Amino acid sequence: MKKILFTSLILAAAGIVNAQQPVPAKKQSKSVLLMNGICHVGNGKVIQNSVVGFKDGVITLVGDATVMRLDLSQWDTTINVAGKHVYPGFIAPNSTLGLTEIEAVRATSDFNEVGYMNPHVRTQQSYNTDSKITPTVRTNGVLVAQITPRGGRISGTSSIMNLDGWNWEDATLKADDGIHINWPGYYSRNWSEDGPGPYERNKNYAERRADLEKFFAEARAYCMTPKPAEKNLRFEAMRGVFNGTQMIYIHADNVKDIAEAVTFSNKFGLKKVSIVGGAESYKCTELLKTNNISVMLARVHNLPMRADEDVNQPYKTAKMLQEAGVLFCFENSGDQEATGLRNLPFLAGTAVAWGLEKEAAIAALTSNAAKILGIGDLVGTIEEKKQATLFVSDGDALDMKTNKVTHAFIQGKSIQLTNEQQQLYDLYSEKYGMDAK
**pLDDT (tens digit, 9 = 90+) per residue, 224-248?**
998 898 999 999 999 999 999 999 9
pLDDT at 138 over 70: yes
pLDDT at 18 over 60: no
DSSP line for 27-94: PP-S-EEEEEEEEE-SSS-EEEEEEEEEETTEEEEEEETTT----GGG-SEEEE-TT-EEEEPEEEEE
The angle at the Cα of 155, spanning 151 to 160, to the nearest 5 degrees, equals 120
Q: Flag the least confident range among 22-26, 28-32, 185-189, 245-249.
A: 185-189
Grade residue 308 by pLDDT with cuts at 50, 70 and 90.
confident
Q: Quick one: which H or E segment has residue 138?
A: helix 133-138
| Angle in degrees, 0-180, between the axes of helices 313-324 and 358-365, rounded to the nearest 10 | 90
pLDDT (mean) for 94-119: 84
Query: How many residues are recorded in the chain?
Result: 437
pLDDT at 139 over 80: yes
Higher pLDDT, 433 or 60: 60
Up-side HSE of residue 209: CA atoms within 13 Å toward CB?
A: 15
Grade residue 19 by pLDDT with cuts at 50, 70 and 90.
very low
Higher pLDDT, 421 or 129: 129
What is the pLDDT of the chain when averaged over all its residues?
91
| DSSP character at residue 167 | S
Class of CATH domain 24-89+380-430: mainly beta
Q: What is the pLDDT of residue 1?
A: 56
What are the phi and psi torsion angles at 150 (to 5°)?
-135, 165
Q: What is the pLDDT of residue 432?
A: 85
Q: Flag the least confident range among 110-114, 116-120, 126-130, 227-231.
A: 110-114
Neighbours of 346 (CB within 10 A): 18
Alpha-carbon distance 254 to 280, whole Å?
6
Alpha-carbon distance 123 to 341, whole Å?
18
pLDDT at 377 over 50: yes
- Residues 182-223: pLDDT tens digits? 999 888 777 777 777 777 888 899 999 999 999 999 999 999
Residues of the chain with CATH 2.30.40.10: 24-89+380-430
Alpha-carbon distance 412 to 396, whole Å?
22
Q: 3-class DSSP state for residue 196? A: strand
Work out whether the CA dihedral 26, 22, 361, 182 comes out positive or negative. Answer: negative
Strand partners, 200: 188
Into which CATH architecture does domain 90-379 fall?
Answer: Alpha-Beta Barrel (3.20)
Share of the chain above pLDDT 90, in %: 75
Q: What is the pLDDT of residue 305?
A: 86
Q: Flag the least confident range among 52-66, 106-120, 277-291, 362-376.
A: 106-120
pLDDT (mean) for 411-429: 90
Q: What is the pLDDT of residue 14?
A: 46
| DSSP character at residue 26 | P
Residues of the chain with CATH 3.20.20.140: 90-379
- Residues 152-178: pLDDT tens digits? 999 999 999 999 999 999 999 999 999
Spell out the long-range contacts of 354-360 with Cβ–Cβ below 8 A and sequence spacing 24 or more: 354/312, 354/315, 354/316, 354/318, 354/319, 355/316, 355/319, 356/318, 356/319, 356/322, 357/322, 358/398, 359/40, 359/44, 359/45, 359/46, 360/44, 360/322
pTM of the full predicted structure? 0.91
Instruction: Evaluate whether 119 touches 155 at the Cβ level (below 8 Å).
Output: no
Alpha-carbon distance 248 to 7, whole Å?
57
Q: What is the pLDDT of residue 123?
A: 95
pLDDT at 17 over 50: no
- Residues 254-303: pLDDT tens digits? 999 999 999 999 999 999 999 999 999 999 999 999 999 999 999 899 98
